[in-house]
Structures are given as C-alpha cells and as structure tokens.
Amino acid sequence: MLEVVRIKEYVESLIKDYLSVYQNREGIETKWGDPCMAYADAEDKLFEKLKDIISSSHALPKDFLPDSRTVITYFIPFEKSIIKSNIKGKESSREWAAAYIETNKLIHDLNQYIKNELNKMDYDSTVIPATHNFDDEKLISDWSHKHVAYIAGLGNFGIHTMLITENGCAGRIGSIVTNLKLSPTKRPDKEYCLNKVDGSCHECVNRCLNGALQESSYNRDLCYDMCLFNDQFHSDLDLTDVCGKCTVDVPCSYDNPVS
Ligand code: SF4
Ligand code: SF4
C-alpha cells in the first residue's frame, strides 16, 4: 500500500502518463497541454448547494458511490494550435470540433483507466461521462463537471461561465468519484477573472457572436443554438454541439490571468 501522501502523486502520474501515451495513439488527431488536478471531499457541503444552484436532480457523490470519500477532478487543456484554430470565423473550427469529440472519449477512457488502477489497490470508483448526461429541456447536467471542479478547487469562474484554471479555460474537465481518501485541495480565495477583479476585461463578451454572453448575463438557450449550428456545420462528425469562441483569444485562454 502506498503512503497517503504518495497516493496523490501516484494519481497525478496516472493522469499525466495516460495522456501523454494516449495522444500518440494511431488515429488520434488532438494534442493536449499539461493537465491540472484538484480534489474534493465527497462530504463537502457545497455539493448539496448544487441542487439549488443548478438543478434538484444534480447528483451527490454518494449517489454514484455510497461510500465515496473523494471526487478527483482534472482539466485537460487543448494544445495551443487547436485553441488558435478556433479564433476566426463564426463556425467552430474543425480542429476544435474534433478535439471536443476526442477529448470526451479520452475522459471516458482515462476515468476507466484510473478506476482499474485504483481497483488494484482495492478502491472503488465510478466512471462519469464527460458530457451529454444532461436534461434536454433545461440544458443542465445532472453532474456539472465544472461546478464539481470548482468545489474541488480546480479554479474559479469567469464571466463567460467557464472555469478558469491555472492552465486556462480552453479545454475539457473530467471527474471521477472514488472511495479512496485524498486530502481536499483548498479552493482559491481570489477571483481568476479580470472582469471580476477590476472590470478591466470584456474580451469574452466581445467574442460572443450571437449575444448569448453579456457582461452581467448569459443566455443558455442562445448559446446552445450556436452549439447546434456548429453540430450541423460539422455534420460529417459525431455530435459536436460546441462553440468555445468566448474561450479563445482571451486573457484567460492559457492560464490564470490574475496570478
Ligand atoms: S475573457 Fe476576461 S472577462 Fe472574460 S472570463 Fe476571461 S478574464 Fe474574465
Ligand atoms: S460558447 Fe459561443 S455562443 Fe456560447 S457564450 Fe461562448 S461565444 Fe457565446
């Protein structure tokens, strides 16, 4: 049995090593940057609050695993060339759309890998899909990875409603519930969004092409219209209901602009 302190390092190495091997697999187009990780206590009171903030059907860690102890969360940024490819035009770039599909698959496979590895040490875990576990009418997830990642201390929200991490906001978030006890990460005690700090930035609002994002509001339906437009535009690909224009070519694309 590994010491508790070293288990966290071990989990982090599982994620990093898996990612570096995965992106060299035959048939994988996407490249990714360095992931970052954070850990929530499965009993954190904020999980209950997600039922009020997001939806009464938002799950608790114990709904996945009755003896859950920790929620492992991680952010996997897209490689810079993919982020840059999505700057121009109304439509999301093909690279961005393909990265969305491949990263969702990566997250599923990575979670399965972590589950298997932890199982070798007699710990249970639950694999949660990266997306499309949401209510079609309310457009709200039953498990919001970005809110769960916030609880874990992975970052803080920008006015574009995305989580800004130390490695930016242009990528995907994954999470896995386990009964392995890991010490929780301290949540940031400061804002990561320049607009929230001193009102000096509106770049994400300026980049939104259909008015879904305003400085003090976000229209979920308008945003999803744009995502569905992109899905139609890339109709030869699997479901690509993404846009991401507000996360590219902005100060928080690659890192925390406030640190
Ligand atoms: S682009 Fe600027 S205002 Fe928008 S979330 Fe990022 S830091 Fe905040
Ligand atoms: S994802 Fe696209 S449509 Fe939605 S808020 Fe961002 S820029 Fe606007």
Look at ligand 2, atom 6, and give the residue with the nearest C-alpha: 246
Does the beta carbon of 169 sit less than 6 angstroms from any atom of ligand 2?
Answer: no
Q: Is the pLDDT of residue 241 over 90?
A: yes
Calpha distance 156→146 (Å, rounded): 9
In eight-state DSSP terms, residue 245 is G
Q: Residue 137: what pLDDT?
A: 53
Pocket lining: 208 vs ligand 2, CB cutoff 6 Å: yes
168 C-alpha vs ligand 2 centroid, how far in Å? 16
Comparing 116-120, 139-143, 178-182, 190-194, the range with the smallest average pLDDT is: 139-143
- State the amino acid at position 203 in one-letter form: E
pLDDT at position 140, please? 45
Cβ of 123: how many Cβ atoms within 10 Å? 18
Q: What's the whole-number mean pLDDT along residues 197-209?
A: 97
DSSP string, 116-178: HHHHTTT--EEE--SS--EETTTTEESS-HHHHHHHHTSEEE-TTSSEEETTBSSEEEEEEEE
Q: How far is residue 106's CA from residue 99's CA, in Å, rounded to a whole number?
A: 10
**Residue 180: CB within 6 Å of ligand 1?**
no
106-124: pLDDT as tens digits: 999 999 999 999 999 999 9
CB neighbours of residue 211 within 10 Å:
12
Q: Which pLDDT belongs to residue 135?
A: 47
Beta bridge partners of 134: 141
**Mean pLDDT, rounded, of the chain:** 93
In this predicted model, what pLDDT tens digit does every residue of 139-169 receive, in sequence order?
A: 445 899 999 999 999 999 999 999 999 999 9
Question: Residue 127: CB within 6 Å of ligand 2?
Answer: no
pLDDT of residue 6: 87
- How do beta strands 70-77 and 171-178 pair? antiparallel
- Give residue 138's pLDDT band: very low, low, confident or very high (50, 70, 90): very low
CB of 205 within 6 A of ligand 2: the answer is: no
Query: In 3D, which of 143, 113, 114 has the Cα closest to residue 130?
Result: 143
Q: Nearest to residue 38, comparing CAs of 156, 138, 127, 134?
A: 156
Put the strands of the sheet holding 70-77 in their side by side order. Answer: 36-41, 70-77, 171-178, 125-127
C-alpha 234 to ligand 1 mean position (Å): 27
Per DSSP, the three-state class of 246 is helix
Q: Report helix angle 46-53 to 145-152, nearest 10.
A: 150
CA end-to-end distance (rounded Å), the chain: 37
How many other C-beta atoms are found inside a 10 Å radius of the C-beta of residue 81? 9
Q: Is 148 in the pocket of ligand 2 (CB under 6 A)?
A: no
**What is the per-residue pLDDT across 59-83, written as a single tens digit (0 to 9) for each?**
899 988 999 999 999 999 999 999 9
Angle in degrees, 0-180, between the axes of helices 4-22 and 94-119, rounded to the nearest 10: 140
**Model confidence at 200: pLDDT above 90:** yes
Q: What is the pLDDT of residue 208?
A: 98
Q: CA dihedral defined by 131, 48, 69, 132, rounded to 10 degrees?
A: -10
pLDDT band at residue 56 using 50, 70 and 90 as cut-offs: confident
Check whether 134 has a pLDDT greater than 80: no
Structure tokens, 162: 């995305």
Quick one: pLDDT band at residue 54, thresholds 50, 70, 90? Answer: confident
Q: Residue 247: which pLDDT band, with cuts at 50, 70 and 90?
A: very high
